[in-house]
Chains A and B, each alone.
Chain A
């Protein structure tokens, strides 16, 4: 059971906006910044969003992050077929003294 809770699946059609949630607690998301990773099949995770809403070079601005209390969210606008992947949230947990990840959300582009 993951410390951070994500919906197992999400879907949308090309051009749509989708949002993926990530629920944590007062010892992790509420106190610390959240990072999001994208994982295409058979590849290593890739950093998508860091420090809540910063994008590494090369990540399109269709991707954005937000947080409210102990919950974070990843939004993808203008959905494209190449966005089909697994998405993971991650943050530091002060109680566990460890980085924690969500269980992942599989995004399907219909």
Chain B
């Protein structure tokens, strides 16, 4: 079945960078966009951007431009998101999510299990 499996929890000091991976399986990797969404403790989800695994094209929400980078490795069906210059307010669970299904829907149909990133000195 379709699965998104993310890397494990991370603890980072302010100013450091973190990279979270999202390994996909169960479908054709190039066929669906992957989005990244984060959720701070006690808050609703916050969308960060997407990557087109086929072309590598990306789109980031304005507030994160210059601080995040989404990449992919097609040989292992995995996408990555690097967040640089981490701050305590970036402490959150980071999720990858696959957009769409066979109907052409643009909703996030499949989610990874989440990666807790804690930023603390």
CA distance A44 to B45 in the complex (A): 10
List, in ascending order, chain B residues with CB within 8 A of A18's CB: none
Q: Are B111 and A51 in contact (CB under 8 A)?
A: no
Q: Are B107 and A45 in contact (CB under 8 A)?
A: no
CA distance A37 to B45 in the complex (A): 10
Q: What is the CB-to-nearest-CB distance from B114 to chain A, in angstroms, rounded to a whole number? A: 5
Q: Mark A28-66, 1 if CB is under 8 A from B, else 0.
A: 000001010100000011110011001010000000000
The residue in chain B whose Cβ has the minimal distance to the Cβ of A51 is B105
Q: What is the CB-to-nearest-CB distance from B102 to chain A, in angstroms, rounded to a whole number? A: 11
Question: In the complex, which of the residues B45, B46, B108, B112 has the most CB atoms of chain A within 10 Å of its own CB atom?
Answer: B45
Name which of A9-17, A72-80, A92-100 contacts chain B. A92-100
Within 8 A of A (CB), among B5-64: 35, 37, 43-47, 59, 61-62
Within 8 A of A (CB), among B86-121: 95, 101, 103, 105-109, 111-114
The residue in chain A whose Cβ has the minimal distance to the Cβ of B63 is A98
Contact A104 to B44, CB < 8 A, known contacts A50-B105, A50-B107, A99-B35: yes
Chain B interface, number of residues (Cβ within 8 angstroms)? 22
CA distance A99 to B62 in the complex (A): 12
Q: Are A88 and B45 in contact (CB under 8 A)?
A: yes
Within 8 A of B (CB), among A1-22: 2
CA distance A98 to B108 in the complex (A): 14
Other A-B pairs, 7, CB within 8 Å; known A35-B108, A47-B107, A50-B107 = A2-B44, A44-B95, A45-B95, A56-B109, A97-B59, A101-B44, A101-B47
Residues of B whose CB lies within 8 Å of any CB of A are 35, 37, 43-47, 59, 61-62, 95, 101, 103, 105-109, 111-114
Between A and B, 11 residue pairs with Cβ closer than 8 Å are A45-B45, A50-B107, A51-B103, A51-B105, A51-B107, A88-B45, A90-B45, A90-B108, A99-B47, A101-B45, A101-B47
Counting from the closest, the 7 A-B pairs by CB-CB distance are: A50-B107, A99-B47, A44-B111, A35-B107, A104-B44, A101-B45, A103-B44
Residues of A whose CB lies within 8 Å of any CB of B are 2, 33, 35, 37, 44-47, 50-51, 54, 56, 88, 90, 92, 96-104
